Amino acid sequence: AQSVAQPEDQVKVAEGNPLTVKCTYSVSGNPYLFWYVQYPNRGLQFLLKYITGDNLVKGSYGFEAEFNKSQTSFHLKKPSALVSDSALYFCAVRDIGGSNDYKLSFGAGTTVTVRA
Partner 1 sequence: NAGVTQTPKFQVLKTGQSMTLQCAQDMNHEYMSWYRQDPGMGLRLIHYSVGAGITDQGEVPNGYNVSRSTTEDFPLRLLSAAPSQTSVYFCASHFTGGDTGELFFGEGSRLTVL
Specify the residue, 15 or 101, whose C-beta has the smaller distance to partner 1: 101
Compute the Cα dihedral for 78, 72, 91, 58 and give only its sign: positive
Specify the residue, 70 or 100, whose C-beta has the smaller distance to partner 1: 100
- Rounded least distance, CB 104 to partner 1, Å: 6
- Rounded least distance, CB 60 to partner 1, Å: 11
- Rounded least distance, CB 82 to partner 1, Å: 23
Cβ–Cβ under 8 Å, residues 13 and 19:
yes
- Rounded least distance, CB 63 to partner 1, Å: 14
Specify the residue, 40 or 116, whose C-beta has the smaller distance to partner 1: 40
Specify the residue, 44 or 82, whose C-beta has the smaller distance to partner 1: 44
Determine the Cα–Cα distance for residues 15 and 91; give it in Å rounded to an integer: 22
Residues at the contact surface with partner 1, assessed by CB under 8 A: 6, 9, 32, 34, 36, 41-46, 49, 51-52, 90, 92, 94, 100, 102-109
